[in-house]
């Protein structure tokens, strides 16, 4: 999938800036960090996409296991992503550094000043090459600053782990930073998990039952049609997919999960749900029997809610961005007839 011209220009400028700033980077320092001395952590992931924030959950869970007495603040780019992780057990505060703040020196100074009052023991910046996150890492005060060392990349850290190219999935790369801590080696979850509580799952079932009245033997499948650029699957394809699926099994009930820009269901009288609160949406996902969508943020939200997720990929790489749950599956749909995709999809159902 080719990047838009403005994205290509921004990427090249970021590369040039990184290489220039790398001349002033700290040297590699792989000295171990003592977990017992870390009580307050700031995790920096200034990004504006849902999926990239959910990709932080394996690292957040690993920190909970490795440093059970530490509390984690997280700095993100978009306020709508905050509810996803706000309720995770070891998360204390979610701070927002929006584009408006990063592009306004006065507002940026005020935000940095506020964060500097927190007296962090450790800052973790798990993404290489993000100039915005690196600037925040440089400006915010902390005894220790941990991140990846990568040649020709600015690294404002005093503790580093060598960047590993052999880890493909973007959600699992940050886990390598746990090797910076001394002590016993532990095993960590290699899947997404926003840690929905039992209460939240009950709430999800209640919300869903108020919208759809299934028969006892009905299976409820949620679909999400929206996606960025070439990843989007057209509505007429989805109509054919649903019709073909219901020929195979008349007990399947579809629910249309609407994107913010969508106002109507795909098909007349088809139940639909819309929520601007992503944590509430995750509750609803947890009540579904299956969730089907393209390569998009809600795919990761459903997977992180432990909903069996079937991801329809057409242009991006599942090895980099696919769902990670044990019951999740990927179906490549490129140049395939809808009937073939339906057959492959149906073969993954475990009901």
Angstrom CA distances, 34 to 141, 174, 195, 196, stand at 19, 19, 27, 30
Angstrom CA distances, 50 to 153, 178, 221, 271, 351, stand at 25, 23, 22, 24, 29
Ordered strands of the 290-294 beta sheet:
272-273, 252-257, 219-224, 290-294, 309-313, 329-332
Q: What are phi and psi of 110, to 5 degrees?
A: -65, -40
Comma-separated ranges of CATH 3.40.50.2000 domains in the chain = 5-180, 198-347
Handedness of CA 105, 109, 110, 112 (dihedral sign): positive
* Domain topology for 5-180: Rossmann fold (3.40.50)
Count of residues in the chain: 351
Q: Which residues contact 82 (CB under 8 A, 6 or more apart)?
A: 76, 94, 96
The per-residue pLDDT for range 177-211, each reduced to its tens digit, is 999 999 999 999 999 999 999 999 999 999 998 88
The per-residue pLDDT for range 75-95, each reduced to its tens digit, is 999 999 999 999 999 999 999
Q: Could you give the CA distance from residue 108 to residue 115 in angstroms, rounded to a whole number?
A: 11
Digit-by-digit pLDDT tens for the chain (351 residues) are 555 555 555 556 666 655 665 555 556 787 999 999 999 999 999 999 999 999 999 999 999 999 999 999 999 999 999 999 999 999 999 999 999 999 999 999 999 999 999 999 999 999 987 889 999 999 999 999 999 988 878 889 999 998 888 888 999 999 999 999 999 999 999 999 999 999 999 999 999 988 887 666 789 999 999 999 999 999 999 999 999 999 888 889 999 999 998 989 999 989 999 999 999 999 999 999 999 999 999 999 999 999 999 999 999 999 999 999 999 999 999 989 999 999 999 888 876
Any idea which architecture 198-347 has in CATH?
A: 3-Layer(aba) Sandwich (3.40)
Two tokens, residue 322: 């696919």
Residue 307 DSSP SS3: coil
Residue 348 pLDDT = 87
Q: Which residues contact 104 (CB under 8 A, 6 or more apart)?
A: none
Residue 166 pLDDT = 82
Question: DSSP letters along 7-47, please?
Answer: HHHHHHHHHHHHHHHGGGPPPP--PPB-GGG--EEEEEE--
């Amino acid at each position: 999938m080719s990047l838009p011209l403005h994205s290509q220009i921004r990427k090249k400028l970021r590369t040039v800036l990184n290489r220039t700033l790398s001349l002033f980077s700290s040297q590699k320092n792989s000295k171990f960090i003592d977990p017992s001395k870390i009580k307050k952590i700031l995790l920096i992931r200034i990004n504006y996409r849902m999926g990239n924030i959910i990709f932080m959950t394996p690292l957040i869970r690993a920190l909970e296991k490795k440093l059970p007495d530490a509390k984690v603040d997280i700095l993100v780019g978009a306020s709508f992503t905050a509810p996803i992780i706000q309720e995770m057990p070891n998360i204390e505060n979610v701070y927002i550094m929006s584009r408006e703040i990063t592009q306004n020196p006065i507002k940026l100074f005020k935000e940095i000043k506020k964060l500097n009052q927190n007296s962090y023991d450790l800052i973790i910046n798990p993404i290489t090459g993000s100039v915005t996150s690196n600037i925040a890492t440089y400006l915010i005060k902390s005894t220790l600053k941990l991140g990846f060392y990568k040649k020709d990349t600015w690294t404002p850290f005093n503790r580093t782990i060598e960047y590993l190219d052999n880890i493909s999935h973007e959600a699992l790369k940050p886990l390598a930073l746990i090797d910076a801590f001394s002590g016993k080696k532990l095993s960590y979850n290699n899947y997404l998990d926003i840690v929905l509580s039992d209460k939240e799952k009950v709430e999800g079932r209640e919300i869903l039952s108020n919208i759809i009245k299934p028969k006892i033997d009905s299976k409820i499948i949620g679909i999400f049609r929206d996606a960025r650029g070439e990843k989007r699957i057209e509505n007429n394809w989805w109509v054919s997919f649903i019709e073909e699926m219901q020929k195979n099994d008349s007990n399947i009930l579809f629910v249309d999960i609407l994107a913010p820009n969508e106002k109507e269901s795909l098909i007349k009288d088809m139940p639909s749900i819309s929520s601007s609160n992503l944590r509430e949406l995750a509750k609803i996902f947890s009540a579904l029997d299956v969730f089907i969508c393209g390569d998009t943020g809600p795919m990761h939200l459903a997977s992180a809610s432990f909903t069996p997720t079937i991801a329809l990929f057409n242009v991006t790489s599942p090895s980099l961005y696919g769902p990670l749950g044990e019951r999740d599956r990927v179906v490549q749909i490129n140049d395939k007839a809808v009937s073939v995709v339906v057959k492959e999809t149906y073969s993954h159902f475990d009901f």
